[in-house]
Chain A
Amino acid sequence: DGGITQSPKYLFRKEGQNVTLSCEQNLNHDAMYWYRQDPGQGLRLIYYSQIVNDFQKGDIAEGYSVSREKKESFPLTVTSAQKNPTAFYLCASSEQAWSTDTQYFGPGTRLTVL
């Protein structure tokens, strides 16, 4: 089955720690995205990648970092610089970036800072 997987489903972090959220897709999509969802709000774009070894900041990139060493993988690191990291994080992919292609989403990771 083709799709997007995210792990872990739930993640707990102590203040001051960096954590990495995993996102893998086997859809052979070029583009991948990371969104943050807070209660009562829509999705906000953190980072996106149009192609391997390339990525761009979204609207709320501060305190986050990404890498794109393989086409199928786009991990997100939440650093200690992120002031309020508790949120639901969604990864998405599309055939091409910014071509009006439909984005398909993974099941998400719920991050809680203790």
Chain B
Amino acid sequence: AQTVTQSQPEMSVQEAETVTLSCTYDTSESDYYLFWYKQPPSRQMILVIRQEAYKQQNATENRFSVNFQKAAKSFSLKISDSQLGDAAMYFCAYRSADDMRFGAGTRLTVKP
């Protein structure tokens, strides 16, 4: 079974600065998607960004961008100009045609 590993249980960033959250995964598939979801205190899971494995270009959504290293099976999330509203649990997820896996999550704290 595929696994998704988030090695940072907790991260902290100063408001307006940049932080990078790490994610690695294990798969033998060639066609898959990777996602970052945000779960604020309300516990609603919100899609932040997604990356198709066949695309070499890293996905970007406003202040959020990823560094996708397919050979290394690495998928990190960079948050630029961090805001207080970015404080949440962040989950990395892997999805293939017959599987969906989530990492254990990274709790991000934003300091004013």
Contact = CB atoms under 8 A, between A and B. Distances in A.
B103 A42 contact: yes
A100 B44 contact: no
Interface in A7-50: 33, 40-45
Interface residues of B, number: 28
Nearest to B98: A98
Nearest to A59: B1
Interface string A75-114: 0000000000000101010000011101111111010000
Interface string B96-112: 11111111110000000
B42 A107 contact: yes
A103 B37 CA distance: 10
A88 B101 CA distance: 17
A42 B37 CA distance: 11
Nearest to B105: A42
Interface residues of A, number: 21
A105 B48 CA distance: 13
Nearest to B102: A42
B104 A107 contact: no
Interface in B69-107: 91, 93, 95-105
Nearest to B9: A40
B43 A108 contact: yes
A99 B97 contact: yes
B33 A100 contact: yes
Given A98-B98, A105-B44, A43 B35 contact: no
A98 B97 contact: yes
Contacts of A102: 33, 35, 47, 50
B31 A100 contact: yes
21 contacts: A33-B100, A40-B104, A41-B105, A42-B4, A42-B93, A42-B103, A90-B45, A92-B45, A98-B96, A98-B99, A99-B97, A100-B32, A100-B52, A100-B97, A103-B95, A103-B100, A105-B37, A105-B46, A108-B43, A108-B44, A108-B45
